[in-house]
Amino acid sequence: MSFVPGGAAWFLVFTSDRVTYSRPVSSSGVIEGGQSVSVSRTEDLVFGGTDTASLSVPAQSITSVVWIGQSLGDPALGDDRMSITAAASGVAIARVTYTAAAEAWRLTSPASVAGLTDFPILVYILGSAP
């Protein structure tokens, strides 16, 4: 991600009841926010001879599923909120639209660091499963 020195960049931390995390910490700048938001996401899931595929972040709910080519039937969201299980096994691609819970954070960059106006900033987030 790139942004103007002295400017702000927003980032999301996706949440679920299976993971807790500490407040984000940055190597430079100020992090503020932590407001809860609901985000709509779309992913193409690949079923490679199985009936199960995984989302990249935990879902609150599935909004829509479009099978691109062969259909494996109605999919169900697993208890882990990331696995999707189709009605049948096979080779297929499903375009899944879903809502996910996240917290929105804003990083405000300093105008310069150590005399540099082009510099990296590290944001560290420590998460753990209960």
So where are the chain's domains? 8-111
- 125 pLDDT more than 90: yes
Pairing of strands 76-77, 25-26: unpaired
pLDDT of residue 3: 74
pLDDT of residue 17: 85
Rounded CA gap, 64 and 66, in Å? 7
The candidate with the shortest Cα–Cα distance to 75, out of 101, 100, 52, is 52
Q: How many CB atoms lie within 10 A of CB 86?
A: 22
pLDDT tens for 17-73 read 888 899 999 999 999 998 999 999 999 999 999 999 999 999 999 999 999 999 999
Position 12 confidence tier, pLDDT thresholds 50, 70, 90: very high
Q: DSSP string of 58-112?
A: --SEEEEEEESSS-----EE-TTSSEEEEEEEEEEEEEEEEEEEEEEEEEEPPS-
